[in-house]
Amino acid sequence: MTIPFPAEFLWGAATAAYQIEGGAAEDGKGPSIWDVFSAQPGKTWQNQTGATAADHYHRWQEDIAIMQKIGLRGYRFSLSWPRILPQGTGAANPRGLDFYDRVIDALLTAGVEPYVTLYHWDLPHALHLQGGWLNAASPDWFGEYARIAAERFGDRVRNWMTFNEPQIFIQAGYVTGVHAPGLKLPMAEVLRAAHHVLLAHGTAVQSLRAHCRTMPRIGMASCGIPVSPASETAADIEAARQYMFANRAFTMESNSWWLDPIFKGAYPGDGLKLYEGHLPHFEAEDFKLISQTLDFFAINFYFGPSIRAGSGGIPERLDYPMGYPQTGFADWPITPEVLYWGTRFCYERYGLPIYITENGCSNPDRISMDGKVHDPQRIDFMRRYLAQLGRAVAEGVDVRGYFYWSLLDNIEWAEGVKARFGLTFVDFPTGQRLLKDSAHWYRHFIASGGDVDVEDEHTGV
């Protein structure tokens, strides 16, 4: 099945600093909340930390060579805030800045376009001790960090994202406490922290536009919480559309609570009603800052439920049946249709060009007796999801690029290395890299221009 992806479509892969870099205390880097959280016994699987991770800090040249071998045209990665500003504010760390200079220059030399995320969950611990995102000064802290990044890298980096998945780092870090910094706060405080993150986003956009020497293209990588209709009847499609942007429960895992302020300039009405009595103080001016004009809509899609129109047309979520296919991570179901419906619904609502900035499959991968890593489940996953993305493109949804998560096996936050998402196998004790069958398949897929049934000479699939 050949999908009509445009010739200029951007095929890439993604990573995050804490999850791959290691070098946690090297060359002047300060501790992040994840360095401190993961060092506490029982907080992560087998007490694993990102102290070494995939050792990208020392093996970045090898990793860029892997990108070239796969044929990637784009690479999404994050800067480590505490590597650049060990205390979160104040004097920048020249060795941290130099590291990212080398990476960016090498990417450009290799013909791989850098897509830089400012914040992928690793808040400097020094700022957490001052209240972190609960502190009303946090938008200014983040804006200053964005200024330093823009002034140093904005002559070469054209594509920026302010945050990765604020829904998740607020929900898991401040509501359930299963992620750093491990807090369980009242909803009023959670909503205050969330509002500060939105203000920080707007402040960072202003900093990037003011200080980048190359005209920046800016987005924010939201965690997409997608759904699909149970059938393609008008009633089920409308029910799914409503469900995807509704606010129904006391959780930060919402699409519209985070996206409407950015793209529509206001919190959604059903959310204001839901959180009544817990809302932070905000002014109309706040939303002028939050809703800075963006250039693209970045979103991470993995899975989502099926929705049908119930009694009176009220959206009804369907349970996954027994034996529904799952990936190896947290029992995530495999629902490729959400890559079509999720992008379609977001494009209808927000109207900007879309980049899928994360999508991927975890497996309990291992090196086989023939010395290779065979991961047919991941290839099947990619075929199914990319066919659905191709359907969206064919029907006029303006999707500009796709970043597979992840380039490398990494530290999957509190789950450690229990689950492997990478196209590249990492032997963590030695740091050795080995391309999986899926990496070879992806190379052939990219070269073919979007043939999801392309065969790979190395794997036979």
What is the pTM assigned to this prediction? 0.97
Gap between the Cα atoms of 23 and 26, Å rounded: 5
Gap between the Cα atoms of 1 and 4, Å rounded: 10
Task: Enumerate residue ranges in the chain where pLDDT < 70.
Answer: 1-3, 457-461
Domains in the chain: ranges and CATH = 10-448 (3.20.20.80)
* Residue pLDDT, tens place only, 9-62: 999 999 999 999 999 999 999 999 999 999 999 999 999 999 999 999 999 999
Model pLDDT, residue 329: 83
Gap between the Cα atoms of 136 and 177, Å rounded: 21
Model pLDDT, residue 39: 98
Alpha carbon distance, N-terminus to C-terminus of the chain: 14
Model pLDDT, residue 330: 74
What is the sign, positive or negative, of the torsion defined by CA atoms of 362, 363, 366, 371? negative
Active-site residue numbers? 165, 358
Write down the residue that tokens 């927000």 correspond to.
350
